[in-house]
Amino acid sequence: MAYDRDNIFAKILRGEIPCKKLYEDEHALAFPDINPQARQHVLVIPKGEYVSWADFAARASEQEIAGLVRAVGKVAKAMGLEDSGYRLLANHGPDSHQEVPHLHVHIFGGQKLGRMLAVTRED
């Protein structure tokens, strides 16, 4: 899948759409999800143009990969979730209902999150 430079997170990274920056460094940006699915719901995105985890793993530099992983850890800690716990989620493709084709990690927390998936297996 080719990277679409008109996706909404690309626009946020270019400053064309506002977001409340919770964390930013050379490699990553974090901001609250506009439609939160938990009491605390934050998105962490790499600054580079990557569609998916596989795309990121294949093309990103070691520094970019370390940068995103560290950013997720720092943001989760800054959200105060180290003791209560949290969930990380990265959607890719139609089965996951990925809406925005720029790699992002969801951080959910601040409440009991239920079981791992909201659906049961169909097969």
Contacts to ligand AMP by CB under 6 A:
8, 17, 19, 31, 33-35, 43, 91, 97-100
- Residue among 2 and 83 whose Cβ is closer to ligand AMP: 2
* Least distance in angstroms from the C-beta of 62 to ligand AMP: 25
Q: Retrieve residue 61's tokens.
A: 């530099």
Specify which residues 89 forms β-bridges with: 106
The residue (of 62 and 114) whose beta carbon lies closer to ligand AMP is: 114
The minimum distance between CB 104 and ligand AMP, in angstroms, equals 6
* Contacts by residues 113-117 (CB-CB < 8 Å, ≥ 24 positions apart): 113/38, 113/85, 113/86, 113/87
Active site residue 41: no
Strand order in the sheet with 28-32: 23-24, 28-32, 40-46, 105-109, 86-89
Minimum CB–partner distance for residue 89 and ligand AMP (Å): 7
Catalytic positions are: 104
